[in-house]
Structure 1
């Protein structure tokens, strides 16, 4: 069956192909999901998407795709954000990050933002997503490596960093500068080395496994009940897709 997955820094195409046979495309920019939906796939999985320097994948193109009978799933990064925003219309979210945004436990886009290398370098991340920092801190607390006060302090330090500057070295440096317990930090450093939690990656695989199971069970065309309005903004997206190639080499993704 024809399935399209948008991914990059969270999950490589070769890794994804081991779970789900699909067409793997780079992180989605505005218009890319509409372009993919024109090919009438059974489903589209949105994991990574660009932001900052170009318009992000729009809600409107997701709504249009579902109106054409295409199932749209989201997880991990931009996909989790859009699924939380459009779940009432039928976009399906998968994973812990989606659940956190859908419940309101998380609200900020920067929670999933990373900067990364270009396609030829495998979209290698240069920063760490806040959701991964949070998940690892929580895992260390559960393992008894960190007390609750230390976990909260480190989480606050991480959130205070600009998303492009978030990394484990930057967090440890900030902690040292503020005088946190050196022995406790060293134990946590060892924990991160051995047990770092990549929640985005876990949720991306969860999306692929979910899609695989749904396809195996039989996935009829998507049914929707909302009316789709052809606004000027929507026509602008359609015209732009007709005049431009797919998203190129940008350097920041959700």
Structure 2
């Protein structure tokens, strides 16, 4: 891999970019692409010399999801590939013994819990740029409820009741409005709920993982 290729990174991302400081995306070494779908990596490998790529977000409903074989072929061709936040974290967990590198808290959760469902990170989003999220991933809501249980704002039983309710719901219906409705059924002040949900970005670990990745820029480091 040439020095120029070593410095560049193609990043497949969409809704996880929401709320991220634009300055983090201004690096000359970063090539931003939409959420990855089947065939995107195969085309990239065919058209470009070996370099770095990171899978963050990916589609699976409107198009087939990015395939394991195209990732494996890219790795075999000399590409360095990271996976994080969403679809990337899932694929990295499935392929970390084959050369793909996982990054961030979402990846670590998948790697440490073999029973963790892909449904945890699934959401619906706008079909076109800026790919704004139209629902909230369960993994974010789970982190929020866990913190509230730790702070004894809600009980562990109430935490599990809400999670069970949302887990059995289609992922596209999981929104902060839906969460608020569930919380309002509990003896919690409406103002406290509103204040917490206004600052919900603190629980969006998919985006927080991406922020860390963009700050660390691991693709600029010496090859393994």
Q: Which TM-score tier does this pair reach, normalised by the shorter chain?
A: 0.7 to 0.9
Moved more, 99-108 or 183-192: 183-192
The correspondence of residues 109-148 of structure 1 with structure 2, limited to 5 A, is 109-120=118-129, 122-148=130-156
Q: Alpha carbons of 1:148 and 1:174: their partners in 2 closer, same or farther (altered >3 Å)?
A: closer
Paired position in structure 1 for 2:104: 95
What's the RMSD between the two structures over aligned residues?
2.3
5+ residue gaps, structure 1, are 221-254
Match of 1:49 among 40, 58, 61: 58
1:38-82 residue CA offsets vs partner (Å, 9 max, x unmatched): 312421100000002321000001101110111100000000000
The correspondence of residues 236-251 of structure 1 with structure 2, limited to 5 A, is none
The correspondence of residues 148-227 of structure 1 with structure 2, limited to 5 A, is 148-174=156-182, 176=184, 180-183=185-188, 187-196=192-201, 197-210=203-216, 212-215=217-220, 217-219=221-223
1:20-50 residue CA offsets vs partner (Å, 9 max, x unmatched): 7310000011010122223124211000000
How far does residue 168 in structure 1 lie from its aligned partner after superposition? 1.4
- Number of equivalences: 214
Do the aligned residues in 1 keep the contact of 2:36 with 2:57 (CA within 8 Å)? Answer: yes
Paired position in structure 1 for 2:3: none
TM-score (norm 2): 0.85
Do the aligned residues in 1 keep the contact of 2:52 with 2:219 (CA within 8 Å)? Answer: no
CA distance in 2, matches of 1:106, 1:80: 14
TM-score (norm 1): 0.76
Paired position in structure 2 for 1:3: 9
Do the aligned residues in 2 keep the contact of 1:145 with 1:188 (CA within 8 Å)? Answer: no
Q: Alpha carbons of 1:99 and 1:194: their partners in 2 closer, same or farther (altered >3 Å)?
A: same
CA distance in 1, matches of 2:190, 2:116: 29
5+ residue gaps, structure 2, are 1-6
How far does residue 100 in structure 1 lie from its aligned partner after superposition? 1.2
Q: Alpha carbons of 1:34 and 1:59: their partners in 2 closer, same or farther (altered >3 Å)?
A: same
1:97-156 residue CA offsets vs partner (Å, 9 max, x unmatched): 111111226522221111111324x11111011111111112222333322222222222
